[in-house]
């Protein structure tokens, strides 16, 4: 991209939480390093100390400022007023690209597009996260179909997310691309387990969809080659935390399971020798990328876009909601750690060139310029 003028970009999202915010943060930082000028639009209705801290860390990369506008979690007045405020801001800042993330960010990006700009949407699940058949879900699915015609491109973080969108919304009437999330160079440094690490580690939310019930049931009879019962460290919190504690006791796993609370993923990998992700549903989870990029063995279910991360090792994925299959995979890891390490190395070789922040940004930046060139090439109305 050397020699091309820097772009003026608005990244639009509702709340700075989860994988969506991590993606926006990584993308914003890399685009800024490449000389582009970035503005951020976030929800003014969500404000707490953690939100302010996260946005404060992003501020140095946001030369065009961080702008707060109302984006209600469900349907609200802000869904009708904020897009027009975004359009006014885009005109004032002479924005080239409006890139919306999630349902509310995507709504603002498309309806806020100006005559000189292009608009993109990365759904991150977005409207698909609303319950099918619900009034709010129906409204936003219909809205997504309606504004597809004023969308210049959709970016999906996985081929799985793209298929789900096609099935529930339809094939977009515009450009679309699958561009995987990426990791920073430092995240590809090895993370060896601690000397007193547990056999397995889980990192994530304590919710039914994360498959914790099946993980605990699988653990019961898993043994090391010396006959020792296998152990597990669990990091995270959520609505099923207390129920999980009770289930640990009910299954006789007290003393074999450590509950670590909410912890950052990368350092927590040291607390177990093998990462286990027993999810019942996912899109493209960062935790698997983080575990695999650190060179660690990973056992996971075959849901969402996880096979896209596993690449040539996808044959080792286990079916979801199957404690027996999960138990066999965990036992196999303990029985043959050399094979597990070999598979981890093969997986790392696959993801290293395909899942970096630089590679992700290369593709998104090229798409921005492609869309702008196409807009300039169109005859004036």
What is the average pLDDT value for the chain, to the nearest integer? 93
The fraction of the chain above a pLDDT of 70, given in percent, is: 96
Q: Average pLDDT for residues 309-328, to the nearest whole number? A: 97
Q: Does residue 222 carry a pLDDT above 70?
A: yes
Please report whether residue 151 resides in a domain. Answer: yes
Are residue 14 and residue 126 in the same domain, yes or no? yes
Per-residue pLDDT of 169-191, as tens digits, reads 999 999 999 999 999 999 999 99
For 102, other C-beta atoms within 10 Å of its C-beta total 25
Q: Does residue 269 carry a pLDDT above 70?
A: yes
CA distances from 179 to 36, 110, 277 (A): 20, 20, 23
Cβ-Cβ contacts under 8 Å for 335 (sequence gap 6 or more): 225
Asked if residues 154 and 120 have their Cβ atoms less than 8 Å apart, the reply is yes
Specify the CATH number for the domain of residue 164.
Answer: 3.40.50.2000
Please report whether residue 1 resides in a domain. Answer: no
Expressed as residue numbers, the domain containing 338 is 186-351
**pLDDT bracket for residue 26 (50, 70, 90):** very high
Are residue 305 and residue 371 in the same domain, yes or no? no
Q: Does residue 87 carry a pLDDT above 50?
A: yes
Q: Average pLDDT for residues 360-373, to the nearest whole number? A: 97
Are residue 153 and residue 202 in the same domain, yes or no? no
**pLDDT bracket for residue 379 (50, 70, 90):** low
Distance of alpha carbon 23 from alpha carbon 4, whole angstroms: 24
Are residue 243 and residue 202 in the same domain, yes or no? yes
DSSP 42: E
Out of 13-22, 64-73, 299-308, 328-337, which region has the weakest mean confidence (pLDDT)? 13-22
What the block records as the tokens of 338 is 């050399």
Instruction: Report if pTM > 0.95.
Output: no
The fraction of the chain above a pLDDT of 90, given in percent, is: 77
Asked if residues 211 and 240 have their Cβ atoms less than 8 Å apart, the reply is no
How many structural domains comprise the chain?
2
pLDDT (0 to 100) of residue 47 = 67
Are residue 194 and residue 333 in the same domain, yes or no? yes
Distance of alpha carbon 180 from alpha carbon 284, whole angstroms: 8
Are residue 22 and residue 150 in the same domain, yes or no? yes
Collapsed DSSP state (helix, strand, coil) of residue 25: helix
DSSP 277: E
Q: Average pLDDT for residues 110-139, to the nearest whole number? A: 83
Q: Does residue 2 carry a pLDDT above 70?
A: no
Nearest to 120 by CA among 87, 151, 164, 79: 151
Please report whether residue 3 resides in a domain. Answer: no
**pLDDT bracket for residue 380 (50, 70, 90):** low
Q: CB-based burial of residue 67 (10 Å sphere; 0-12 exposed, 13-18 middle, 19+ buried)? A: middle
Are residue 84 and residue 193 in the same domain, yes or no? no
Are residue 56 and residue 109 in the same domain, yes or no? yes
pLDDT (0 to 100) of residue 381 = 46
Q: Does residue 132 carry a pLDDT above 80?
A: no
Are residue 178 and residue 228 in the same domain, yes or no? no
**pLDDT bracket for residue 348 (50, 70, 90):** very high
Are residue 157 and residue 294 in the same domain, yes or no? no
Q: Average pLDDT for residues 60-72, to the nearest whole number? A: 94
Are residue 143 and residue 219 in the same domain, yes or no? no
pLDDT (0 to 100) of residue 137 = 75
pLDDT (0 to 100) of residue 124 = 87
pLDDT (0 to 100) of residue 58 = 93
């Amino acid at each position: 991209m050397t020699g091309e003028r820097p772009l003026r970009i608005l990244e639009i999202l509702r709340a700075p939480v989860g994988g969506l915010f991590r993606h926006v943060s990584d993308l914003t930082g890399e685009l800024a390093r490449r000389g582009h000028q970035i503005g951020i639009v976030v929800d003014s209705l969500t404000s707490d100390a953690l939100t302010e801290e996260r946005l404060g860390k992003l501020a140095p990369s946001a030369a065009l400022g961080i702008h707060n506008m109302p984006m209600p979690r469900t349907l609200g007045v802000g869904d009708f007023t904020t897009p027009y405020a975004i359009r006014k801001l885009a005109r004032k800042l002479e924005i080239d690209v409006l890139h919306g993330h999630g349902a509310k960010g995507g709504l603002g990006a498309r309806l806020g597009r100006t005559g000189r700009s292009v608009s993109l949407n990365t759904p991150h699940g977005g409207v698909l996260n609303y319950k099918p058949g619900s009034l709010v879900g129906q409204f936003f699915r219909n809205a997504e179909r309606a504004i597809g015609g004023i969308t210049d491109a959709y970016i999906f973080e996985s081929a799985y997310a793209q298929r789900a969108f096609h099935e529930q919304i339809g094939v977009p009437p515009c450009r679309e691309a699958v561009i995987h999330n990426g990791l920073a160079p430092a995240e590809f440094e090895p993370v060896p387990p601690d000397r007193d690490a547990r056999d397995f580690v889980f990192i994530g939310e304590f919710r039914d969809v994360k498959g914790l019930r099946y993980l605990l049931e699988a653990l019961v009879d898993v043994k090391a080659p010396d006959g020792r019962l296998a152990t597990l460290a669990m990091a995270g919190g959520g609505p099923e935390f207390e129920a999980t504690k009770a289930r640990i006791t009910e299954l006789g796993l007290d003393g074999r399971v450590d509950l670590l609370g909410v912890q950052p993923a990368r350092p927590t990998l040291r607390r177990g020798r093998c990462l286990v992700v027993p999810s019942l549903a996912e899109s493209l989870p960062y935790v698997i990328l983080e575990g695999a990029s650190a060179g660690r063995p990973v056992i996971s279910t075959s849901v969402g876009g996880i096979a896209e991360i596993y690449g040539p090792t996808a044959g080792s994925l286990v079916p979801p909601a199957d404690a027996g299959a999960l138990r066999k995979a965990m036992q196999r890891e303990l029985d043959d750690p050399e094979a597990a390490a070999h598979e981890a190395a093969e997986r790392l070789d696959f993801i290293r060139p395909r899942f970096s922040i630089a590679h992700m940004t290369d593709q998104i930046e090229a798409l921005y310029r492609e869309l702008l060139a196409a807009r300039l090439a169109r005859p004036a109305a």
